[in-house]
């Protein structure tokens, strides 16, 4: 491997670790101790130019590489990730602050499952099909800039990089400057996957410098970002000047609808668990719990009991269930929303803005529950990105749907009922990109993405692969035979 795992001095460009153009760096902070544990280069416009040139030069080679060879590269990626499972898990826990169990099954586990899912999808994916007198092709979009966040960094990187490479695109990755170390470990693995130089490039840096340079660069054909709605708007604005393809996976304010016939205690417990996962730092967190008005007070009491039972502390302690937030800025943001919830008249029944009394360092906040929340309150409408739950009362099923849909977001959600048919009926009416019915498990082959200000485009499965492909129609003479089409494919590959 190149460089110390925690102090990286080079950028991966054109198949080599290269000196950055500038001397500035970003420090990586352990959020449990507030201490510097590593650093990476702060990339510049010049580094972006070099990476785009390398990716552009590699595109004709990689886009013409037969699918079996691309699949083989992804299999090597999967093998390399699994061989370094311990290193990735420890690094993710260190820079994100996730408890080791969460880093293992969520942070690293979801990343590995993403790669596996595309290895399952690719052999059956139809890159071309005959449609009447036309041959419809799906061809790689070109040079793809991937801008990724800090909350589930490796998993969300691979949700973009894997389908882009699988489609035949070349990639420039800009990971979050807050949690970049896992991306450098990923580059170490990809360096061993027999990719032609320039197919994968890594330029670390911040959004205003590297992110904006990528979004605006005329040599980039597509930009995909997972991040805040504000960041998504800016990327779309910059990309519009060159009319490049844009994929946005943005924020969420998901509603967890517990219908009046559901097992309230079990549903509230699962809802609190889901919200507190990764310290509430997930875009699909069920941060609004909708319960029937007759059961509101009971739900609030249960939620407070479950929230108070969480062990908040050192991510390396096996007993810890909730680690710190990722940064001082994240902590200040969450505390602000908690204080605002009380100021707007919601009833604080668990947690609060103060750090746990037994912790004197680290960016910690207690799981927090508000009852008697109106859907027009700030805490019910804005994404908090922390373990803060709003309990909202509804009158009937139609009112629950109305409240769920009264949001600028539409990313995820859940519906619970004793009747699967009733829950499914409600789920069909909720305007989100994904809805869980009665605790159904996550399906990595199903499309993930949002409505409204949660963005556009989809990740995961065959629909995620679609994002990185352009459609081309070739109109055929009536007498073209299937064997002639196959012959043309062989000629192209050679």
Contact of 146 with 167, CB cutoff 8 Å: no
- As given in the structure block, the two tokens for residue 64 are 């013409």
Q: Which residue has the tokens 């420090």?
A: 27
Residue 283 among the catalytic residues: yes
CA distance from start to end of the chain: 34
Q: Which residue has the tokens 């990309």?
A: 239
Q: Residues near 224 by Cβ (< 8 Å), separated by ≥ 6?
A: 144, 145, 146, 147, 160, 164, 246, 247, 248, 249, 457, 467
Phi–psi pair at 249, nearest 5 degrees? -120, 105
Name the catalytic one among 177, 212, 249, 467. Answer: 249
List residues bridging with 174 in a β-sheet: 147
The Cβ of residue 297 has, within 10 Å, a number of other Cβ atoms equal to: 16
Q: For residues 290 and 373, give the distance between their C-alpha atoms in angstroms, rounded to a whole number.
A: 10
Q: For residues 67 and 70, give the distance between their C-alpha atoms in angstroms, rounded to a whole number.
A: 5
Q: Residues near 106 by Cβ (< 8 Å), separated by ≥ 6?
A: 98, 152, 155, 277, 278
Of 176, 161, 173, 250, which is closest to residue 206 (Cα–Cα)? 176
The Cβ of residue 124 has, within 10 Å, a number of other Cβ atoms equal to: 7
Residue 249 among the catalytic residues: yes
Helices 67-83 and 153-167 meet at what angle, rounded to 10?
160
Helix segments in 122-263, DSSP class H: 153-167, 181-190, 212-216, 229-240
Contact of 26 with 12, CB cutoff 8 Å: no
Name the catalytic one among 276, 283, 460, 467. Answer: 283
Point out the residues that are catalytic.
249, 283
């Amino acid at each position: 491997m190149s460089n110390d795992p925690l102090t990286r001095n080079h950028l991966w460009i054109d198949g080599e670790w290269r000196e950055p153009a500038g001397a500035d760096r970003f420090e990586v902070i352990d959020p449990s101790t507030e201490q510097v544990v590593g650093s990476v280069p702060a990339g510049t416009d010049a580094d972006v130019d070099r990476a785009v040139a390398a990716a552009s030069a590699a595109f004709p080679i990689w886009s013409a590489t037969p699918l079996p060879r691309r699949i083989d590269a992804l299999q090597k990626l999967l093998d390399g990730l699994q061989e370094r499972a311990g290193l990735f898990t420890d690094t993710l826990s260190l820079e994100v602050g996730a408890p080791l169990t969460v880093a293992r099954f969520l942070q690293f586990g979801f990343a590995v499952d993403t790669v596996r899912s595309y290895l399952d999808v690719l052999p059956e994916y139809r890159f071309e099909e005959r449609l009447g007198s036309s041959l419809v092709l799906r061809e790689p979009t070109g040079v793809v800039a991937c801008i990724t966040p800090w909350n589930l960094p490796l998993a969300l990187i691979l949700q973009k990089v894997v389908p882009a490479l699988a489609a035949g695109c070349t990639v420039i990755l800009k990971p979050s400057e807050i949690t970049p170390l896992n991306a450098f470990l990923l580059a170490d693995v990809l360096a061993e996957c027999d990719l032609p130089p320039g197919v994968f490039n890594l330029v670390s840096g911040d959004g205003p410098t590297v992110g904006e340079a990528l979004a605006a660069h005329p040599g980039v054909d597509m930009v995909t970002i997972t991040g805040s709605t504000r960041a998504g708007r800016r990327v779309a604005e910059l990309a519009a000047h060159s009319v490049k393809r844009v994929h946005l996976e943005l924020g969420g304010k998901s509603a967890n609808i517990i219908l009046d016939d559901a097992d309230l205690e079990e549903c509230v417990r699962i809802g609190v668990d889901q919200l507190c996962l990764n310290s509430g730092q997930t875009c699909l967190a069920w941060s609004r719990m909708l319960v029937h008005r007759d059961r509101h007070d009971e739900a609030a009491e249960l939620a407070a009991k479950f929230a108070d039972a969480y062990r908040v502390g050192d991510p390396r302690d096996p007993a810890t269930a909730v680690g710190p937030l990722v940064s001082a800025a994240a902590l200040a943001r969450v505390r602000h929303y908690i204080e605002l919830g009380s100021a707007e008249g919601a009833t604080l029944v668990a947690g609060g803005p103060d750090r746990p009394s037994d912790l004197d360092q680290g960016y910690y906040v207690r799981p927090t529950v508000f009852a008697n929340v109106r859907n027009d309150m700030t805490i019910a409408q804005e994404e908090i990105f922390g373990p803060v739950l709003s309990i909202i009362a509804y009158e009937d099923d139609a009112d629950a749907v109305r409240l769920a849909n009264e949001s600028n977001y539409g990313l995820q959600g859940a519906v619970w009922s004793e009747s699967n048919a009733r829950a499914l009926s409600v789920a069909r009416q909720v305007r989100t990109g994904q809805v869980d019915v009665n605790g159904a498990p996550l399906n990595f082959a199903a499309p993930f993405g949002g409505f409204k200000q949660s963005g556009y485009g989809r990740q995961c499965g065959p629909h995620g692969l679609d994002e990185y492909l352009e459609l081309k129609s070739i109109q055929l003479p009536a007498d073209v035979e299937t064997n002639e089409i196959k012959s043309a494919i062989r000629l192209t590959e050679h």
